[in-house]
């Protein structure tokens, strides 16, 4: 059994894998120590973390579990045709690895709607080419509040946020941000579809569900894409050591 850990800017997700299948998912609030006590058969782990603290690695090492860290330039089952690979976020890499595995020999656009909205393109040869990074839902709400004199901070959105015409300031902000991100996503997908025939689109991220019903293109949603990609990278490195 293997453990994949994805510690992002906003959320923490951990997944147990057996025979390349996600068998148990852990979200925010779950202690890593408790997970290790509960699952004594974990043989390897992989960690992707935003920031510099590596307390999780210390815990795993104390338990004697070989741990691979995405910051250590691991071997990848995918070529990075990117000008600055050292600046590439581990979550972007892991999600792209899994998206490319889902659709081999196809051009793939992977969209991750989280703290940021990231767009990553993998060509039909399985090469990571690049993409784009845009502010996510919470960043846009926060910017409107902090860089204006009187706009409130919108922290939650309900169905009225999808209406085109907001009838008060809060719903107007929700409409602008939600519909703005949706229009951005849809527009970028269309540009990629015009440039690359047979394009496949894979989406993930904690905020994706807010935009899924607003899109017209065929999109394959995969909520645990990054964890699955991390596990695939882990297997690739384990097999390379043998």
Q: Where are the domains of the chain?
A: 2-135+180-241
Tell me the pLDDT tens digit for each residue of 114-158.
999 999 999 999 999 999 999 999 999 999 999 999 999 998 665
| Residue 18 pLDDT exceeds 90 | yes
**159-163, 165-169, 195-199: range with lowest mean pLDDT:** 159-163
What are 27-45's pLDDT values in tens digits?
876 788 888 988 889 999 9
Q: Is the pLDDT of residue 7 over 90?
A: no
Q: What is the 3-state secondary structure (H, E, C) of 106-133?
A: CCEEEEEECCEEEEEEECCCCEEEEEEE
pLDDT band with cut points at 50, 70 and 90 for residue 8: confident
Answer whether residue 238 shows pLDDT above 90. yes
Query: Can you read off the two tokens belonging to residue 200?
Result: 């496949």
Query: How many whole angstroms separate alpha carbon 30 and alpha carbon 92?
Result: 24
The pair of structure tokens assigned to 73 is: 């330039």
Angle subtended at Cα 36 by Cα 32 and Cα 42, rounded to the nearest 5 degrees: 125
Decide: pTM greater than 0.85. yes
Under DSSP, the state recorded for 151 is P
In this structure, what DSSP letter does residue 16 have? E
Confidence at residue 157, expressed as pLDDT on a 0 to 100 scale = 61
pLDDT of residue 57: 79
Active-site residue, 91 included = yes
Task: Look at residues 97, 2, 15, 93 and name the one whose alpha carbon lies nearest to residue 45.
Answer: 2
Query: What is the pLDDT at residue 242?
Result: 67
Start-to-end Cα distance in the chain: 17
Average pLDDT of the residues of the chain: 90
The DSSP bridge pattern shows strands 67-69 and 200-204 to be: unpaired
pLDDT for res 71: 81
Domain boundaries 2-135+180-241, corresponding CATH code? 3.30.420.40
Whether the CB-CB separation of 107 and 118 falls below 8 Å is answered with no
Q: Which of 213, 215, 214 has the alpha carbon at shortest distance from 201?
A: 215
- The active-site residue out of 6, 34, 86, 91 is 91
Closest CA to 24 of 9, 37, 13: 13
* Total number of residues shown for the chain: 242
77 vs 58: CA distance, rounded Å: 27
Q: Which residue has the higher pLDDT, 216 or 106?
A: 106
The answer to whether 151 touches 171, Cβ cutoff 8 Å, is no
Those residues whose C-beta lies under 8 Å from the C-beta of residue 207, and which sit 6 or more positions away, are 113, 114, 136, 137
State the DSSP H helix or E strand holding residue 36, giving kind and residue range, or none if neither.
helix 32-38
């Amino acid at each position: 059994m293997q453990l994949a850990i994805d510690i992002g800017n906003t959320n923490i997700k951990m997944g147990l894998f057996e025979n390349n299948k996600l068998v148990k998912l852990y979200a925010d609030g779950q202690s890593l120590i408790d997970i290790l006590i509960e699952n004594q058969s974990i043989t390897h782990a992989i960690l992707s973390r935003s920031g510099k603290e590596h307390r999780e690695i210390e815990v795993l090492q104390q338990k004697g579990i070989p741990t691979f860290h995405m910051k250590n330039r691991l071997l990848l089952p995918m070529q990075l045709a990117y000008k600055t690979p050292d600046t590439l976020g581990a979550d972007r890499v892991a999600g792209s690895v899994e998206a490319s595995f889902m659709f081999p020999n196809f051009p793939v656009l992977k969209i991750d709607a989280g703290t940021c909205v990231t767009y990553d393109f993998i060509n039909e040869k399985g090469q990571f080419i690049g993409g784009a990074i845009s502010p996510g839902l919470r960043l846009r709400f926060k910017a409107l509040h902090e860089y204006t004199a009187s706009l409130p901070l919108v922290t939650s959105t309900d169905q009225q946020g999808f209406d085109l015409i907001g009838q008060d300031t809060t719903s107007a902000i929700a409409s602008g941000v939600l519909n703005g991100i949706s229009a951005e996503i849809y527009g970028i997908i269309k540009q990629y579809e015009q440039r690359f025939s047979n394009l496949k689109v894979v989406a993930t991220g904690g905020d994706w569900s807010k935009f899924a019903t607003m899109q017209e293109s065929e999109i394959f949603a995969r909520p645990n894409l990054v964890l699955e990609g991390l596990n695939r990278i882990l297997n690739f490195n384990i097999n390379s050591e043998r």
